[in-house]
């Protein structure tokens, strides 16, 4: 029996007629790591969120110690920046597609927008309720927050105020994300309810175009819905 080729190669091994052992060099992201498994040991307390930046070369993580660590994922995985100033646990964070901005939420009802070029907060978004989910408009002029009041608030970064409130959930919103063309926002609530909102520039206020019930969202916009029946369903959200 033929053995596998050397490291960083994909192989096809089998006794089928006409099939020969072949090796294809692997040049994907893992090839840039010093090891297939890397350990990032920066935090001293529990980590609650972790996201790659759009280029995949930096990872941001937030923890119970109220700090956000930024590390390179290639080479020696250096921790090159720490964002401080939070008064409570960092629960979630999101990167923007364009400028190097990070928006994150806390357990004390505050979301902050960080600019990596200035290494500081450029906007603060206070809410009287705990913020449970955030999302970012890639044009970098709006962010979306939701809390235990079951509403989605749309913040205008130029005016630093709420310009729209989306109401329709009867339970806490746990996750939300914009579609790739920014035309729709999908929100997921604890009441096993998914709402899809029309976010086009001239759409009516509070325009919910579709509601799906009975499941908990597994993966945004891929249509994967998990249920207590141990079944994952794939739905066409906009079909």
Greater confidence (214 vs 135) lies with 135
CATH topology of domain 45-167: Methylamine Dehydrogenase; Chain H (2.130.10)
Dist. CA 69–CA 29, nearest whole Å: 21
Region 67-73: mean pLDDT is 89
Position 151 scores a pLDDT of: 93
pLDDT tens across 150-203, in order? 999 999 888 888 989 999 898 888 888 888 788 888 888 887 788 889 988 887
Q: What percent of the chain has pLDDT over 90?
A: 8
Cα(2)–Cα(133) distance, integer angstroms: 51
* pLDDT of 14 strictly over 50: no
Number of neighbouring beta carbons within 10 Å of residue 161: 10
Is pLDDT larger for residue 106 or for residue 129? 129
What pLDDT score was predicted for residue 103?
Answer: 81
CA atoms within 13 A on the CB side of 109: 7
Residue 15 has pLDDT above 60, yes or no: no
Cite the residue boundaries of each domain of the chain with CATH code 2.130.10.10.
45-167
- Does the structure show a pLDDT above 80 at 233? no
Q: Please state whether 215 falls in left (phi above 0), alpha (psi between -120 and 50) or beta.
A: beta
Number of CB atoms found within 10 A of residue 195's CB: 22
Backbone angles phi, psi at 69, to 5 degrees: -105, 135
Q: What's the whole-number mean pLDDT along residues 47-60? A: 88
**How far is 14 from 21, CA to CA, in rounded Å?**
8
pTM of the model: 0.70
Q: Could you tell me how many residues make up the chain?
A: 239
More confident residue, 214 or 207: 207
Using alpha carbons, select from 209, 224, 130 the residue that is nearest to residue 173.
130
* 47-62 mean pLDDT: 89
Residue 111, CA distances (Å) to 87, 146, 219, 229 in order: 11, 10, 23, 35
pLDDT at 28: 54
């Amino acid at each position: 029996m033929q053995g596998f080729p050397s490291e960083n190669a994909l192989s096809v091994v089998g006794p089928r007629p006409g099939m020969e052992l072949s090796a294809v060099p692997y040049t994907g992201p893992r090839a840039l790591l010093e090891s297939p498994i890397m350990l990032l040991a920066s935090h001293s307390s529990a980590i609650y969120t972790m996201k790659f930046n759009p280029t995949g070369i930096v990872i941001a993580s937030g923890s119970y110690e109220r700090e956000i660590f930024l590390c390179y994922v290639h080479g020696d995985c250096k921790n090159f920046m720490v964002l401080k100033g939070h008064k409570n646990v960092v629960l979630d964070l999101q990167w923007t597609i364009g400028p190097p901005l990070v928006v994150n939420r806390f357990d004390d009802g505050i979301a902050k927008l960080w600019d990596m070029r200035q290494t500081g907060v450029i906007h603060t978004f206070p809410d009287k309720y705990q913020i449970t989910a955030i999302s970012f408009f890639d044009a970098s002029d709006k962010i979306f927050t939701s809390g235990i009041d079951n509403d989605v608030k749309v913040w205008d970064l130029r005016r630093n105020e709420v310009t729209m409130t989306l109401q329709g959930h009867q339970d806490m919103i746990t996750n939300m994300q914009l579609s790739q063309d920014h035309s729709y926002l999908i929100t997921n609530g604890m009441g096993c309810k998914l709402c899809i909102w029309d976010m086009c520039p001239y759409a009516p206020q509070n325009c919910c175009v579709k509601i799906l019930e009975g499941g908990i969202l597994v993966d945004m916009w891929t249509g994967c819905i998990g249920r207590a029946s141990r079944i994952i369903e794939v739905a066409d959200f906009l079909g």
